[in-house]
Chains A and B, each alone.
Chain A
């Protein structure tokens, strides 16, 4: 982490802190909603520290409140399956040592992957991954604690428009890669598939289907009879 701070410039740090602030507020609402739905505080804290995946945690709390623990596990895992392909991509940014891999894997959140991919050198990719993952881990867990303390007073993050902030942030991070026409074709197709599938498939599956967008990035087969 210390080297990461030195490699990152002020702009990268500022960008990460912006997304961390939003993440912290959503953590507050997670903590509040989770205790309001009847989970004991220790369970909410344990979940935020050990699972560290917002979408899956909200889903798990909802399913537990509905009395369906099996769906809480399966639904959460389906949402998190995307981390496997993410790991293939950010393995180099995490680092070669096993200690780095064991710790760094736990910090793998969407924003860490997006920030890492948006950098132009291996050093900056590594700095961006570790900083984003580490800062978001602190933001998410301190937010959760605050939410547990605040309870009902925390309110709904949609009131502050934070539900729009995250998708916009992700798009801003992948936008530079879309200047390449091949990537753009694949990404637009993948996103379209996911949105069209969303009403029909369980949460998490539509996003996984988007990976088939890479089919459009495959090099065109040579024409035999030209």
Chain B
């Protein structure tokens, strides 16, 4: 049963991944739609970041995580190096939690 769960989840996930890649050649997309593809991907990634920053299992999270993400975003906006963005976001969240902020 356990193995079946893992294999079905793995096969389904791989099918999603391969389907998009394989479909790319099969379907003739009009230029207008092709230009929208990267924008659609950016929408998905931003939504992923936003929901991960603000929610956990459908509930809004405490202050530490969004504050850490905000520090990272501001640094990224000021064109700080990527490593600085990631480390500062983590350090802010960890520091706030150390101070007892939820």
Contacts and interface: CB of A to CB of B under 8 A. Distances in A.
B24 A88 contact: yes
B6 A51 contact: yes
Nearest to A156: B97
Contacts of B88: 168
B91 A83 contact: no
Contact of A194 (B3, B47, B66): B47
B20 A91 contact: yes
Nearest to B98: A159
Interface residues on B, range: 35 or more
Q: Is the interface of B mostly helix, strand, loop or mixed?
A: helix
Nearest to B77: A175
Contact of B13 (A53, A193, A198): A53
Given A43-B3, A164-B90, A194 B51 contact: yes
A170 B2 contact: no
A212 B4 CA distance: 34
Nearest to B56: A163
Contact of B44 (A60, A178, A207): A207
B10 interface: yes
10 contacts: A51-B9, A72-B5, A77-B12, A86-B20, A88-B23, A110-B48, A158-B65, A194-B48, A207-B44, A207-B47
Interface of A: 11, 14-15, 18-19, 22, 39-40, 43, 46-47, 50-53, 56, 60, 64, 69, 72-73, 76-77, 80-92, 94, 101-102, 104-106, 108, 110, 113-114, 117, 158-175, 177-178, 182-183, 186-195, 198-201, 203, 206-211, 213-214, 217-219
